[in-house]
Amino acid sequence: MGGIMYIIIVGAGKVGYHLGRLLIDQGHEVMLIEENRSKVDLLSFEFHDAIMQGDGSMVEVLKEAGANRADVVVATTGNDEDNLVVCQVTKMMFLRPRTIARVNNPRNEELFTGLGVDASVSATKIINAMIQEQVKAGDMMIPLLTLKAGDVEIVEVELSRSSHIVKKKIKDLTLPPASIFIAVIRGEEVIIPYGETEFQPEDKVLALVKRTSEPALREML
Amino acid sequence: MRVMIVGCGRVGSVLANRLDEAGHQVVVLDRNQQAFRRLSEKFSGRRIVGNGLVEEYVRPTLQEEADILFAMTDKDNVNLMIVQRVKRHFQLGRVVAVVHDSILAGLYKELGVETVCPTDLVIKDLLQMITES
């Protein structure tokens, strides 16, 4: 669906607010529906006519928001039962909009799709997927160069937040035998490390290591 | 009959008491332990503290000892979600949601969800009083 869309967002919490902001900045027409009056008052300074007070699972409120001409209705509240009913009511009463629901409890995802919600988004699931990825990435040691027919390697490791050596100085570390740090890449900068060099998350560490010591070095990082 | 009642509020508690008195097997679930104070001292059914939207709290009862479920918390949307989930996961004779919003109650009826609307019942009574006077 290209071009400008009309998108109704139910729930002006953190997710709804930022989504609305983003869509408006992209040039779309947006209506935020929020039940809490003081939240509406606070946000109307910023959203003007693009926010209204009401219970988004009520047919009258959705009608007033113009659900019959909306392209998408997104339910972003923190309560799955509200998000489900918003989407179901939209599907039953207004033929046009696609419905998207935020799923707070990942176990509800299957239920939602089975009950006529077009798409559902679970932050917990997304974050979990990222953590899984991070765990894998943390394990990854990229061999850059092999010397002496594979006996000695130059490897690169990107430090995760959970790395043992983050916030530690080289002089305080005991390196595995036959290994040495040769460079630390921090953003655009390349640091030639010495005793006082302190590691930070996301540093890319280059090390020269004998193959026999590689597992020990991996463990340390 | 084996009846599960989710929501021990003003209506749920009285229904539970009546069914219990009449000899039915009743299980009442509420998130709030204090809600059970509404039950009569003679109430012999089971009380479960828990959230009707979380399957662990309803599964044991629904698998073993229920013919009917009434979802009657004070929130329409909670009731509607409970019954739709129960209908998908359990084979029960009857699953009923109490829905205060008259339009919502009608809409979900069309969707095949059995609903009871207290608002409609009160209005019906009041209108009858007017015609009788």
Predicted confidence (pLDDT) per residue in A7-61, tens digit: 999 999 999 999 999 999 999 999 999 999 999 999 999 999 999 999 999 999 9
| Long-range contact set of residues A29-38: C-beta below 8 Å, sequence gap at least 24 | A29/A4, A29/A5, A30/A6, A31/A6, A31/A7, A31/A65, A31/A66, A31/A70, A33/A8, A33/A9, A33/A61, A33/A62, A33/A65, A36/A12
> Do B55 and B69 meet the contact criterion of CB atoms below 8 Å apart?
no
Domain match, A163 and A78 both = no
CATH number of the domain residue A203 falls in: 3.30.70.1450
User: In the prediction, which pLDDT does A142 show?
Assistant: 67
Domain match, A97 and A18 both = yes
User: Measured between alpha carbons, how far is B90 from A69 in angstroms, rounded to an integer?
Assistant: 38
Q: Which of B73, B75, B77 to mutate to test the interface with A (most CBs of A within 10 A)?
A: B77
Domain match, A147 and A58 both = no
Label residue B81 by pLDDT band (50, 70, 90). Answer: very high
> Do B66 and B2 meet the contact criterion of CB atoms below 8 Å apart?
yes
Q: What is the pTM of this model?
A: 0.73
User: Measured between alpha carbons, how far is B66 from B93 in angstroms, rounded to an integer?
Assistant: 9
User: Measured between alpha carbons, how far is A39 from A9 in angstroms, rounded to an integer?
Assistant: 15
Has residue A82 got a pLDDT over 60?
Answer: yes
Cβ of B80 within 8 Å of Cβ of A115? The answer is no
**How many domains does the structure of chain A reveal?**
2
Instruction: Flag whether A54 is in a domain.
Output: yes
CB A158: neighbour CB atoms within 10 A? 17
For B112, residues 6+ apart whose C-beta sits below 8 A from its C-beta are: none
- The ipTM, to two decimals, is 0.88
Cβ of A85 within 8 Å of Cβ of B104? The answer is yes
Domain match, A124 and A171 both = no
Cβ of A59 within 8 Å of Cβ of B55? The answer is no
pLDDT digits (tens, 9 = 90+) for B8-62: 999 999 999 999 999 999 999 999 999 999 999 999 999 999 999 988 899 888 8
User: In the prediction, which pLDDT does B23 show?
Assistant: 96
User: In the prediction, which pLDDT does A143 show?
Assistant: 65
Of the two residues A35 and A142, the one the predictor is more confident about is: A35
- Which alpha helices (DSSP H) does A48-184 contain, by range? 59-65, 80-93, 109-114, 123-138
Domain match, A149 and A106 both = no
Domain that holds residue A39: 6-129
Has residue A128 got a pLDDT over 80?
Answer: no
User: In the prediction, which pLDDT does A140 show?
Assistant: 63
Domain match, A144 and A115 both = no
User: In the prediction, which pLDDT does A146 show?
Assistant: 67
Domain match, A123 and A18 both = yes
Q: Which of A129, A149, A183 is the last residue of a domain?
A: A129
Instruction: Flag whether A186 is in a domain.
Output: yes
pLDDT digits (tens, 9 = 90+) for B88-131: 989 888 999 999 999 999 999 999 999 999 999 999 999 999 99
Has residue A148 got a pLDDT over 80?
Answer: no
Label residue A133 by pLDDT band (50, 70, 90). Answer: low
Q: What value does the mean pLDDT take over residues A108-124?
A: 86
Residue B87 at interface with chain A, using a CB cutoff of 8 Å: no
Has residue A139 got a pLDDT over 60?
Answer: no
Domain match, A40 and A12 both = yes
Instruction: Flag whether A134 is in a domain.
Output: no
Has residue A1 got a pLDDT over 60?
Answer: no
User: Measured between alpha carbons, how far is B84 from A111 in angstroms, rounded to an integer?
Assistant: 9
Instruction: Flag whether A1 is in a domain.
Output: no
Residue A59 at interface with chain B, using a CB cutoff of 8 Å: yes
User: Measured between alpha carbons, how far is B78 from B53 in angstroms, rounded to an integer?
Assistant: 7
Cα angle B116, B117, B121; round to 5: 110
Instruction: Flag whether A173 is in a domain.
Output: yes
Contact residues, chain A, for B80 at CB < 8 Å: 81, 84-85, 88
Domain ranges of chain B: 2-132
User: In the prediction, which pLDDT does A151 show?
Assistant: 79
Domain match, A125 and A204 both = no
- Select the residue of B55, B75, B101 nearest A58 (Cβ to Cβ): B101
Q: Which of A100, A129, A158 is the last residue of a domain?
A: A129
Closest A-chain CA to B87: A111
Q: Which of A129, A150, A178 is the last residue of a domain?
A: A129
Cβ of A82 within 8 Å of Cβ of B76? The answer is no
Cβ of B80 within 8 Å of Cβ of A111? The answer is no
Domain match, A11 and A107 both = yes
Residue A115 at interface with chain B, using a CB cutoff of 8 Å: yes
User: In the prediction, which pLDDT does A162 show?
Assistant: 81
Contact residues, chain A, for B81 at CB < 8 Å: 80-81, 84-85
Chain B closest CA to A111's CA: distance in Å? 7
User: In the prediction, which pLDDT does B35 show?
Assistant: 96
Of the two residues A125 and A83, the one the predictor is more confident about is: A83
Q: What percent of chain A has pLDDT over 90?
A: 45
Has residue A213 got a pLDDT over 60?
Answer: yes
User: In the prediction, which pLDDT does A71 show?
Assistant: 95
Has residue B79 got a pLDDT over 60?
Answer: yes
The CATH class, in words, for B2-132 is alpha beta
